[in-house]
């Protein structure tokens, strides 16, 4: 692997990150806050970027460089993105946890008194999620000229889901289209939240974290702080949109309005949301003695935000019945659609595995029959099915291992299990100590490092990170 290429591209990424930090600097200036955290962070990030840019080379990029740039790019972005938090008085480990949670759009937080932090810092926290949602690497591809084949390697390594969504022959044009759709829908949400009565600051901040399926809020009570059913339904709708494939949004707007309804994954995604919401509505109606429509509001909000890995809350579901909490736990494993900003296993993988299982049962009864797994009326290649099975197995192994380590470190079983899946699935809150009104701060230092790794691995679909730790990757 050519390390000079990796250094050069990471240098450009850091320079871009430093420039972006000017935006929260402006917010801090507007509110009359201390500018030192951002001024120092911008200087350190840009200077480091310029140093790495000195490794410029014209050598051709290969697949290995693409994986290294994406995998290390997210890690380096989290490290440098944490500097403002450190200068705000947060410990380095907690700052890295918060920054990694932001860029990976996880939404798990170590902050125990969110409102006490400066607005500029909280704005940066939300903005990092928005950048991480569509992918800072995809942003880099969209604005960096003449990437060519190298851009394709980056896009393949970063694009979520089992397959990439190539809308145009040129990857750079695809990245621009995805960011355009992302920006337009984000703008629509800001306007809608303003009309619902939120301040511009709150509207922008919560749009950042909704469209990214991130879930950070600048209030300790999350969306519950607004005490507004209208705001809750608006965020539910845009979270559902963000959990769908953004390439489908583009095609539905510019190609065929019925494209979403024709897509197998989107139909299954909608069915899962409605089914889980319906079940949870009945459980809450039975257990909480609230009206049916209030139960439905609580149910659909939390099913959508948890399933899409957004993680907003309007109630402490730690206090719900065991059966209601089981519904929440189950949807944690699903995630959003491929090509969305959501995390988790992804709806398309679950759908293909279910169809594969059905096909295997059919073949058990009819050994000589030839029957393939189909998705959108096309046969799914065997290598894709094998890749999905491998992904799910590794995903579950990482989940079990991290939960076991947390339990060894002294955390209770509910906290250990849900903290692991909440970080690996980039969901945010869990149950127990790390519930929606709690914090990850009580997790021991080693446990926090494990969860930071979970967020990094989960956001990049496992393989992009794990491959960096194999001997074959570094061999020429």
159 versus 356: which is more confidently predicted? 356
Handedness of CA 180, 182, 188, 193 (dihedral sign): negative
Residue 217 lies in a domain: no
Q: Which domain holds residue 421?
A: 383-473
- The mean per-residue pLDDT over the stretch 134-157 comes to 54
- In this structure, how many other beta carbons lie within 10 angstroms of the beta carbon of residue 426? 33
Lowest mean pLDDT among 16-30, 199-213, 365-379: 365-379
How far lies 353's CA from each of 306, 309, 350, 385, 387, in Å?
A: 22, 20, 5, 7, 11
Task: Give mean pLDDT, residues 188-207.
Answer: 97
Asked whether residue 458 is assigned to any structural domain, the reply reads yes
Whether residue 52 contacts residue 7, with contact meaning beta carbons closer than 8 Å, is answered with: yes
- pLDDT given for residue 165 in this prediction: 54
Helices and strands in the chain: count of H runs, count of E runs: 23, 2
- Do the domain assignments include residue 442? yes
Q: Is 5 contained in some domain?
A: no
Establish how many alpha carbons lie within 13 A of residue 374's alpha carbon, considering only the half-sphere containing its beta carbon. 6
Q: What contacts 391, CB < 8 A, 6 or more positions away?
A: 162, 345, 349, 461, 462, 463
The CATH number given to whatever domain includes residue 400 is 1.10.287
Quote the number of domains for the chain: 1
Domain annotation covers residue 223: no
What contacts 223, CB < 8 A, 6 or more positions away? 206, 217, 231, 232, 235, 301, 312, 313, 314
Task: Say if residues 212 and 133 touch (Cβ distance below 8 Å).
Answer: yes
pLDDT, mean over the chain: 88
Does this model's pTM top 0.85? My answer is yes
pLDDT for residue 167: 54
pLDDT for residue 108 is more than 90? yes
Q: 3-state class of 119 per DSSP?
A: helix
Give the pLDDT band of residue 149 (cuts 50, 70, 90). Answer: very low
Nearest to 452 by CA among 88, 103, 161: 103
Tokens representing 100 are 């990694």
Q: Are 242 and 308 in contact (CB under 8 A)?
A: yes
Tell me the pLDDT tens digit for each residue of 435-454.
998 899 999 999 999 999 99
Per-residue model confidence as pLDDT tens digits over 316-328:
999 999 999 999 9
For residues 319-338, give the mean pLDDT: 93
Is it the case that residue 162 has pLDDT exceeding 50?
no
Q: What percent of the chain shows pLDDT beyond 70?
A: 92
Q: Is residue 70 part of a domain?
A: no
pLDDT band at 160 (very low <50, low <70, confident <90, very high): very low
């Amino acid at each position: 692997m050519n390390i000079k290429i990796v250094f050069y591209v990471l240098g450009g990424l850091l320079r871009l990150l430093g420039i972006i930090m000017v935006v929260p600097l402006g917010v801090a200036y507007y509110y009359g806050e201390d500018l030192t955290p951002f001024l120092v962070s911008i200087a350190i990030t840009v200077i480091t970027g310029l140093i790495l840019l000195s490794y410029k080379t014209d050598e051709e990029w290969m697949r290995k460089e693409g994986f290294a740039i994406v995998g290390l790019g997210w890690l380096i972005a989290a490290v440098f993105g944490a500097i403002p938090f450190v200068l705000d008085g947060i410990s380095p480990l907690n700052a890295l946890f918060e920054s990694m949670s932001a860029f990976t759009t996880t939404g798990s937080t170590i902050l125990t008194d969110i409102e006490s932090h400066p607005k500029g810092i909280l704005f940066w926290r939300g903005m990092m999620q928005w950048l991480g949602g569509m992918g800072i690497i995809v942003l880099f591809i969209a604005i960096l000229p003449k990437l060519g084949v190298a851009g394709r390697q980056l896009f393949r390594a970063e694009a979520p889901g089992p397959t990439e969504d190539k809308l145009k022959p040129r990857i750079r044009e695809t990245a621009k289209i995805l960011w355009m759709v992302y920006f337009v829908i984000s703008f629509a949400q800001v306007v809608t939240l303003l009309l619902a009565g939120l301040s511009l600051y709150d509207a922008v901040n919560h749009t950042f974290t909704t469209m990214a399926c991130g879930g950070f809020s600048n209030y300790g009570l999350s969306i519950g702080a607004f005490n507004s059913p209208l705001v809750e339904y608006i965020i539910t709708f845009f979270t559902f949109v963000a959990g769908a494939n953004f390439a489908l949004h583009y095609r539905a707007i510019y190609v065929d309005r019925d494209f979403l309804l024709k897509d197998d994954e989107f139909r299954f995604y909608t069915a899962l949301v409605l089914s889980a919401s319906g079940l949870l509505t009945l459980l809450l109606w039975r257990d909480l003695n609230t009206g049916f429509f209030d139960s439905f509001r609580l149910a659909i909000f939390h099913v959508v935000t948890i399933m899409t890995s957004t993680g907003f809350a309007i109630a402490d579901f730690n206090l719900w019945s065991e059966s209601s909490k089981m519904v929440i736990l189950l949807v944690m494993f699903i995630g959003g659609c491929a090509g969305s900003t959501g995390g988790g296993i992804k709806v398309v993988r679950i759908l293909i595995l279910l169809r594969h299982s059905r096909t295997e049962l059919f073949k058990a009864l009819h050994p000589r029959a030839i029957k393939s797994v189909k998705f959108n009326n096309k046969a799914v290649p065997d290598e894709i099915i094998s890749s999905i099975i491998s992904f799910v197995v590794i995903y579950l192994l990482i989940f079990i291992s991290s939960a076991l380590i947390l339990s060894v470190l002294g955390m209770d079983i509910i906290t250990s299990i849900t903290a692991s899946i909440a970080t690996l699935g980039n969901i945010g809150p869990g149950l127990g100590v790390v519930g929606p009104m709690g914090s990850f701060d009580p997790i021991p230092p080693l446990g926090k490092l494990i969860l930071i790794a979970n967020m990094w691995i989960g956001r990049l679909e496992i393989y992009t990170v794990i491959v960096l730790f194999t001997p074959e990757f570094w061999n020429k």
